[in-house]
């Protein structure tokens, strides 16, 4: 099978950990061994990943410069896609004993300039703050902020991904049995001008939505949305909580999950399953078991 595996933020950085290269590499090393198991099970693999904390950190560093010297979010997204892709690529090569080609591709993703997300930013980036500090940073940096759990974070526009122009390059790599790391952080958001040329835009695309689109454009057999929760639960957090081993796309779309929790993952899973593929949500270490139907939540057409 051709599998698109989307790594949740916990694969790179667990909440409360310092945003250091050492912490990220330690987590990626663990993730690489789980991904290597998918490849050894005989599957072709495309890997995507998040970048929220990393792009937020670069934006904070950029704030030390003059306002006209700071890089826009699309450029910061490209920088983090290269940085994180490098670490995943190296650790996956190590986990595979360097017997398979692995490549990272910076990936542009087309969005609509009239997407309502540009008027209502919702995507969290950067570290968490106490409310007072978040408000002070928002005041000085011209940010918009929102509550994330018991903390506060910066929010930026998150438009819907429409097309992946680089899919044709990805298909060339897959035809040569290359394991590809791409669409990091949801990809680099771009707009198409009236003359057909492309230009970057200040936004961050949801990684799960971009991964579902990528899986459809590549004709993948399965989409894995890998996180630190073992499955989708009905009544999560209550005494009546129960895991849901399988859902139809329609059942998944009918579940009302908060946007800040598993909601985006379930929405992406349902969208891919509705197109005829298999979606799976669960723990990173259970990736192979999810494909086999013995772990996680599977969403089918």
Q: Are 32 and 172 members of one domain? A: yes
Is 9 considered catalytic here?
yes
Domain membership of residue 117 (yes or no) is: no
Identify the CATH number of the domain in which residue 44 sits: 3.40.1160.10
* Catalytic residue status for 265: yes
Question: Does any domain span residue 116?
Answer: no
Residue 280 falls inside a structural domain: yes
Catalytic status, residue 10? yes
Do 24 and 166 belong together in one domain? yes
The predicted-structure confidence for 136-192, as pLDDT tens digits, reads as follows 988 877 889 999 889 998 898 999 999 999 999 999 999 999 999 999 999 999 999
Task: Tell me what pLDDT residue 215 has.
Answer: 98
Q: Give the model's pLDDT for residue 260.
A: 59
Instruction: Indicate the pTM of the whole model.
Output: 0.89
Q: Are residues 164 and 275 in the same domain?
A: yes
Q: Is the dihedral of CA 203, 209, 215, 218 positive or negative?
A: negative
- Point out the catalytic residue in the list 50, 51, 52, 123: 123
Q: Is residue 115 part of a domain?
A: no
Q: Are residues 18 and 164 in the same domain?
A: yes
In a domain, 114, yes or no: no
Of 9, 52, 185, 186, which residue is the catalytic one?
9
What per-residue confidence (pLDDT) applies to 173? Answer: 98
pLDDT of residue 18: 77
Looking at the fold, whether 149 and 182 belong to one and the same domain comes out as: no
Catalytic-labelled residue, pool 10, 51, 77, 296: 10
Residue 81 lies in a domain: yes
Q: Are residues 216 and 132 in the same domain?
A: no
Residue with tokens 């890998």: 226
Say if residue 282 is in the same domain as residue 149: no
* Statement to judge: residues 177 and 256 lie in one domain: yes
Q: Which domain holds residue 238?
A: 2-109+159-299
Residues of the chain predicted below pLDDT 50: none
| pLDDT at residue 142, rounded to an integer | 80
pLDDT on residue 10: 67
pLDDT at position 23: 86
Residue 127 lies in a domain: yes
State the pLDDT at residue 139.
87
pLDDT, residue 145, reads: 93
Judgement on whether residues 90 and 141 belong to the same structural domain of the protein: no
Catalytic residue among 184, 187, 207, 277: 207
Residue 257 and residue 171 in one domain: yes
Residues 129 and 181 both lie in one domain: no
Catalytic residue among 77, 265, 277, 296: 265
pLDDT score of 52:
72
Q: What is the pLDDT of residue 254?
A: 87
What is the count of structural domains for the chain?
2
Q: Both 59 and 127 in a single domain?
A: no
92 part of a folded domain: yes
Q: What is the reported pLDDT for 31?
A: 94
């Amino acid at each position: 099978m051709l599998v698109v595996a989307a790594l949740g933020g916990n694969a790179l950085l667990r909440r409360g950990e310092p945003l250091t290269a050492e912490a990220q590499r330690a987590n990626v090393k663990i993730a690489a061994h789980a991904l290597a198991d998918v490849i050894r099970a005989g599957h072709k693999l495309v890997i995507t990943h998040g970048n929220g904390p990393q792009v937020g950190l670069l934006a904070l560093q950029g704030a030390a410069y003059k306002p006209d010297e700071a890089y826009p979010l699309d450029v910061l997204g490209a920088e983090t896609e290269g940085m994180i892709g490098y670490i995943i690529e190296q650790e996956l090569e190590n986990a595979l004993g360097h017997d398979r080609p692995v490549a990272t591709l910076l990936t542009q993703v087309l969005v609509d300039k009239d997407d309502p997300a540009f008027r209502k930013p919702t995507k969290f980036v950067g570290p968490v703050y106490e409310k007072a500090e978040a408000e002070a940073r928002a005041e000085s940096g011209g940010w918009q902020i929102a509550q994330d759990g018991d903390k506060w974070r910066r929010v930026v526009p998150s438009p819907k991904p429409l097309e992946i122009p680089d899919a044709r390059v990805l298909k060339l790599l897959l035809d040569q049995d290359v394991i590809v790391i791409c669409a990091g952080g949801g990809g680099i958001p771009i707009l198409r001008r009236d003359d057909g040329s492309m230009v970057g835009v200040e936004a961050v695309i949801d990684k799960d939505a971009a991964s579902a689109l990528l899986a459809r454009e590549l004709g993948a057999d399965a989409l894995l949305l890998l996180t630190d929760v073992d499955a989708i639960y009905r009544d999560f957090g209550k005494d009546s909580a129960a895991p849901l081993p399988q859902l139809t796309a329609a059942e998944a779309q009918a579940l009302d999950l908060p946007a800040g929790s598993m909601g985006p993952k379930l929405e992406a899973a349902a969208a891919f399953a509705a197109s005829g593929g298999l979606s799976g949500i669960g723990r990173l270490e259970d990736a192979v078991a999810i494909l086999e139907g013995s772990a996680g939540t599977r969403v089918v057409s």
